Amino acid sequence: MKIACLVALLITCVVMVTMPVTEAQPDRCHCSSGSCRYGTSDSGPCPYNSYLRNCCIYYRGH
């Protein structure tokens, strides 16, 4: 019973993690190890590379 509960928890966790990544892709987020360049803002951690701290996204005006 405990194993089934853990598996269900793991599946929901994976779904929660992967869903925002697919939504964020069209915004042309690019990963950076340092601070974001001018004209971009930090939108959180890099979705596809955990070594790069910042996921920089272009401002809407650009």
Any domain includes 37: yes
The pLDDT score that the predictor gives to residue 6 is: 60
Query: Residue 29's closest CA among 18, 19, 40, 39?
Result: 40
pTM above 0.75, yes or no: no
Provide the pairing of β-strand 40-42 with 54-58.
antiparallel
The pLDDT score that the predictor gives to residue 26 is: 46
Any domain includes 17: no
Structure tokens at 38: 């001018």
Residue 44 domain boundaries:
29-62
Total domain count, the chain = 1
Other Cβ atoms closer than 10 A to 55:
23
Any domain includes 49: yes
Any domain includes 52: yes
What gap in Å lies between CA 11 and CA 40, rounded to an integer? 33
Any domain includes 60: yes
The amino acid at 43: S
Any domain includes 6: no
Any domain includes 43: yes
The pLDDT score that the predictor gives to residue 7 is: 64
List the pLDDT tens digit at each of the 62 positions of the chain. Answer: 788 766 665 566 455 555 555 444 445 678 888 888 888 888 888 877 778 888 888 876 54
